[in-house]
Structure 1
């Protein structure tokens, strides 16, 4: 990484942090002012690299629905009030936001027990819960690794060359697999006794042809009118694992005999414009 790239990265992080804190201040003002909440409100919950960005983009196209991104990406002193304030500041009839599981586990410090976070949002504040996860853990791990090397989800209007295969450290992939599985168990704890709509990347996000059906399903769950949508993000990774990993055979040998080897044999077919 060049000095210019490093400086741009630092400046971007500082800008995003400042923007988050400014929005926290706005949310606090909205919360304290007693503005009414939208009648319909929800949280899109899951792990990063599971299609949440694409789903946020699609839902935000629905008339009368505003879907925000990661509202708890940075630490805020009062996470419940922050979400409520962001909802109160929304003029749409329905409001949703994205909350990733690691942000509950490692970033925020909500009052009470962390495992009750979704339960409190649902039963205490009337938020419906959408749970989006990715079933193929190997592809999920590779998505995370690629995302740390390049911009993995891009808008369709962005220019760029054909996606290339990447070399991976098989031991690093195994670490990602284990941590992802542990986070999945944590998500199951958070979802205990909390009504939710369960979605998967493979069934609902991967293929562009399924996007409208997915949004219709979500809107039906939320009991609001749906509308025509289109994700503004496109895939930039090759479709098959052999095309995606330059040292695929080395990775396959490392995963052989582990519970994760089965994911190498799952044929997901072609990946379309989604993330």
Structure 2
């Protein structure tokens, strides 16, 4: 049986649930057996939707000698979610451990009904929170479509291939995708209300190579690790003007302009 909750925007989340549950249990037991070290001095989680620059963030933080940052460790059901995260931290060979989690992985795979309560519990047990979000919801949807078409979700700076040069963007993806991304963003902000966290905006803090050094210096200061020069090894997959990316751009532009609340996305 395949399972994909409606709120999950990434197509690769559509996977056999029974296999996910078995893999989750096996990972949970295996991690518990490996978790023999003391809890690291610093722990953090990256709270972010997919296609927000999270892979660039995690891969760059992994270049720091004191940091181990895993990707989506909660993308499979776990019996004891926080305990699993703690065991992953204890199994890490570094003094600082973190991972990326999406809000819809908490609600769907981990059966968390109160995301804000879960984040508060994590924070009460020493986990710091990096909140990463993307402002342009239209480009957020475009990034998803191009990643699905290419079968690749990130690209090394010195690598070739990647997303197709130009392709049509089905209007139904906009009609569903943009409101869904914005709704999830509102749910994220509601869950973070009253918590201490470091906010990172993709367009402002990660998209431009010029902004990245200051961003990673700020993150290292927040995490309490030694400052190192961290340079991303990944580049943006979809970095052209929208008119050069979308085959049916005029149709898409007409749809966006008919929705004034989204009109600013065309010029960004």
Q: TM-score, normalised by structure 2?
A: 0.86
Q: What SS does the corresponding residue of 2:149 show, helix, strand or coil?
A: coil
Aligned pairs, number: 250
Q: Distance in 1 between matches of 2:122 and 2:34?
A: 18
Who is 2:29 aligned against?
25
Deviations 1:185-242 (A, max 9, x none): 1101210111000001101111123222211110111122121222222223242111
Deviations 1:42-72 (A, max 9, x none): 0011110000000001111112111111110
Deviations 1:57-116 (A, max 9, x none): 111111211111111011111111110110011121111111111111222124x73331
Q: Do the aligned residues in 1 keep the contact of 2:67 with 2:97 (CA within 8 Å)?
A: yes
Q: Is 1:116–2:117 an aligned residue pair? A: yes
Q: What SS does the corresponding residue of 1:193 show, helix, strand or coil?
A: coil
Who is 2:49 aligned against?
47
Q: Distance in 2 between matches of 1:116 and 1:199?
A: 21
Who is 2:8 aligned against?
none
Shift of 1:30: 4.5
Shift of 1:156: 3.2
Q: Do the aligned residues in 1 keep the contact of 2:155 with 2:162 (CA within 8 Å)?
A: no
Correspondence list, 1:1-275, <5 A: 21-30=25-34, 35-110=37-112, 113-123=114-124, 125-150=125-150, 151-160=152-161, 163-258=164-259, 259-266=261-268
Q: Do the aligned residues in 2 keep the contact of 1:153 with 1:236 (CA within 8 Å)?
A: yes
Q: Distance in 2 between matches of 1:101 and 1:113?
A: 11
Who is 1:3 aligned against?
none
Q: Do the aligned residues in 1 keep the contact of 2:149 with 2:163 (CA within 8 Å)?
A: no
Q: Do the aligned residues in 2 keep the contact of 1:152 with 1:237 (CA within 8 Å)?
A: no
Q: Distance in 1 between matches of 2:132 and 2:143?
A: 16
Shift of 1:161: 6.8
Q: What SS does the corresponding residue of 1:209 show, helix, strand or coil?
A: coil
Q: Distance in 2 between matches of 1:161 and 1:141?
A: 17
Deviations 1:251-273 (A, max 9, x none): 0111223111221122xxxxxxx
